[in-house]
Structure 1
């Protein structure tokens, strides 16, 4: 079977759409496939933080490269990202959290990241709305946030201008393998022939690789999310807490996007007409209580929308970026554990390199599948985007 496309990319979140763009930019024929559409699940549900702070040291080179790329990404894509480099303020609400914040600052400074430990009125000088009860905070001035839907749309639009095709509303059900080598994908509408396949389907990655003996050890968690109506406020950093159970930032049109907490997903998803996961009332009530204590001025804000974001949380809270020989040599990206949005622009370049058979410029050994062989690792989730 002759290939219709050089590359098929499955999943139109930020990782998949960025990969399709990178491959099209390099002159390849590309098809981007998604069972729903761009940013229809995790990439659209995220808080959309663009941060280096609070990351595992293995992710730091990717995060720093990504933040540099975000500076000019909108111009590169000839589209909007609504990126704002306003900093990230991570607060301690008690002495135990203060110890954790101090440790984060020390760890990140040792890695060369600009981080400041702020106390007392210094916290309110950075973010006047934050409660004076906050004990201390870390501040990373080079962090920020962006708009997830606008960014993914800009990646898709840029890819299509470069000749990429899109197949939205088309579910991929299997990989097509010919003589041990991937030769395309099987969808509900037929076979799409391609010389190489990149799978970036978030929580659905294991469904496509399972028949080949692969399984990424992740648990699907749901994080309660909410958005306020437009609310006047001075420009402020992304605001979070030491254990990641409460995070908020202000969107470009003034709405506050708020998230936090996580629990095992019950598997229930509605189509309305896009995928929707509804949060339980108890989680909503707890999140309102926490963000109201952290930013008292938002205690009475009116809420416009409630939803859950789904997190493919690996056992070590690190993603998988790898080639799977037993699955025809496909390229897999999954398990971003709730903090893959920022990495999207460099994830796309890494996956494009792997798909071409090239060695990425950035270190990805910590993200290989082989790390899971017989290893039990405890995980920590950071829900800052």
Structure 2
């Protein structure tokens, strides 16, 4: 490819999801020059098609410090990106559908007791009195009162827009065709003739980040997954909390306009960039929704959708410095749970770029854990 435009920048970012865009914003506020390259449109993949849950509850303990950092950013979202993103601190209620589920919720509460989530287990008549709109299948719940939900179709592009307003060069519909270490920095070829030289490179390419990592000698067992989502017509006020279920299968929330967003199960890939809902997953989702939310029986579903997410085997992200390439920093593999932590991931990536370390513990997310796993002989 013959270069028709050449740019030099402190930091090049591959991927315009919420993590990459938040990193661009944080880096600009640190005074660094930033070029963000997005193959499609910012916030249009996993960051924009997800359910919109803004929850700390249910995360593994190693993620909670990062999640708590993000929680603080969500509280000041209008000051950070200029919009509220329909963010509501509704609380997050995780339901138990069996005694085994309830025991699991109790064990989780005890395991994260020192992290400040303020979890409240609600059972028996108190549960029924507080949530009369839930079906009999739900027997108890764990409430994280300060969690909530937001509109990913507003928030994720909102970070990119704020980064652009702060001076970041945001290039959409500009796929990166080649990225390589070159001298003291990196050389990227992108779009239709763009050549970029950067001192640092952030790999925030979501479900496509594995190929970039592998090109630098750091393969990751990253697989694509496809959430199964639906939204109803506007309905009378029903859900006053963001709902999850122990063991998974379904989640739900209601927006201010009255539409109920529900999700669960997996869709099918159409190609590397697109997915559609799965028929069997839709049937299971609607059955579970009718059981848990009786008021939805007979409601009209106005849209189903899916998207492309990148999952790691341990469901933890890849976040940290490359082990093979100075100046390369990874931030991907959020396994369907990156929306809430995305703003904090952006700040962490910016700290790593400026300082080489983060003020938030991220040791559990290093890319080297996969190399260690591959080197361990099978039992």
What's the TM-score, normalizing by structure 2? 0.91
CA distance in 2, matches of 1:125, 1:362: 40
The answer to whether residue 13 in structure 2 is matched with residue 9 in structure 1 is: yes
Corresponding residue SS for 2:117: coil
CA distance in 2, matches of 1:172, 1:126: 51
1:27 to 21, 31, 35: 31
Residues 1:53 and 1:298: Cα distance change in structure 2 (over 3 Å): same
1:260 to 256, 264, 267: 264
The answer to whether residue 205 in structure 2 is matched with residue 201 in structure 1 is: yes
The answer to whether residue 77 in structure 2 is matched with residue 55 in structure 1 is: no
Moved more, 275-284 or 4-13: 275-284
* 1:294 to partner: Cα distance: 0.8
* 1:215 to partner: Cα distance: 1.2
Q: What is the alpha-carbon root mean square deviation over aligned residues? A: 2.1
* 1:330 to partner: Cα distance: 1.2
Residues 1:159 and 1:209: Cα distance change in structure 2 (over 3 Å): same
CA distance in 2, matches of 1:31, 1:314: 27
Question: Contact 1:7–1:196 (CA<8 Å) still a contact in 2?
Answer: yes
2:186 to 183, 186, 206: 183
1:106 to 96, 106, 110: 110
1:200-279 matches, within 5 Å, as 200-234=204-238, 236-262=240-266, 267-269=269-271, 276-279=274-277
Corresponding residue SS for 1:185: strand
Q: Alignment length, in residue pairs?
A: 369
* 1:141 to partner: Cα distance: 0.2
CA distance in 2, matches of 1:294, 1:56: 25
Deviations 1:95-136 (A, max 9, x none): 222222222222222444200110123334443321133111
User: Hey, what does 2:377 align to over in structure 1?
Assistant: none
User: Hey, what does 1:306 align to over in structure 2?
Assistant: 304
Residues 1:235 and 1:74: Cα distance change in structure 2 (over 3 Å): farther
CA distance in 1, matches of 2:11, 2:132: 49
User: Hey, what does 1:173 align to over in structure 2?
Assistant: 177
What's the TM-score, normalizing by structure 1? 0.90
Moved more, 80-89 or 91-100: 91-100
1:81-96 matches, within 5 Å, as 81-96=85-100
Deviations 1:310-339 (A, max 9, x none): 332211110011222434531111111111
Corresponding residue SS for 1:74: helix
1:318 to 312, 316, 320: 316
